[in-house]
Amino acid sequence: MLFSLSRRDWLFRCLKTSVGAWGLSAVVSRAQDMSVLGRVQDMSDARLRNFDEMIAPYVVRQPVKQGGITLSLPMLADNGHLVPLSLKVDSPMTEESHVTHIYLISQRNPVPLMAMFVLGPWNGRAELSMRVRLSGTQMVVALARMSDGTFRYETQEVVVTEAACIDNG
């Protein structure tokens, strides 16, 4: 026997399905607008930001001091698609004193936060090595959050001859 519904039941189920789909699409679109630490900037927002704009979403009224990080990038990168980056944070990485987060922030990329790493005393040492994409000549900031809530940072200028991220990819 086929499943039979009255016209009223059928309309009511259609209405519930439509409202549910609308609610789900609103949740999905809101989730796509959010990044790990707030709103993602417009992908066409490839402009130079100042230092305070770069670190403001991550440092909220916390002490920030320069030093304690060794950031290594080439001074001249021929290709912005594969720029080698390595960094080391001077920390004993003990339970009492360790690095909790490392943020790599770009001055000109459409999305400033290039990477975020969560660390702890289980890591043994706070060292990273990778390749990043850079959209033109800019400053790169390595920001480390320590277990006591303070922040350390280091900056480095990179001249990029062939920019990446121009297709917003």
CATH number at residue 111: 2.60.40.2470
Residue 168 is assigned to a structural domain of this protein: no
Can you give the pLDDT at residue 27? 58
Total number of domains constituting the chain: 2
Give the chain's mean pLDDT: 85
Domain that holds residue 81: 43-160
Can you give the pLDDT at residue 138? 94
What's the token pair of residue 45? 């927002």
- DSSP, res 42: P
| One domain, residues 49 and 110 | yes
Can you give the pLDDT at residue 90? 96
- Short-list 102, 127, 126, 100, CA closest to 115: 102
| One domain, residues 52 and 126 | yes
Residues of the chain with pLDDT under 70: 1-3, 24-46, 166-169
pTM strictly above 0.85:
no
- DSSP, res 122: G
Residue 165 is assigned to a structural domain of this protein: no
| One domain, residues 13 and 95 | no
| One domain, residues 150 and 78 | yes
| One domain, residues 26 and 50 | no
Which residues 6+ apart lie within 8 Å of 28 measured at CB? Answer: none
Q: Is residue 146 helix, strand or coil?
A: strand
- Short-list 153, 8, 132, CA closest to 73: 132
- Short-list 85, 89, 54, CA closest to 69: 89
Can you give the pLDDT at residue 74? 96
| One domain, residues 50 and 93 | yes
| One domain, residues 49 and 127 | yes
Q: What is the pLDDT of residues 19-36, one digit of tens each?
A: 777 776 665 555 444 444
Q: Which amino acid is at 30?
A: R
Largest Cα–Cα distance in the chain?
76
Residue 47 is assigned to a structural domain of this protein: yes
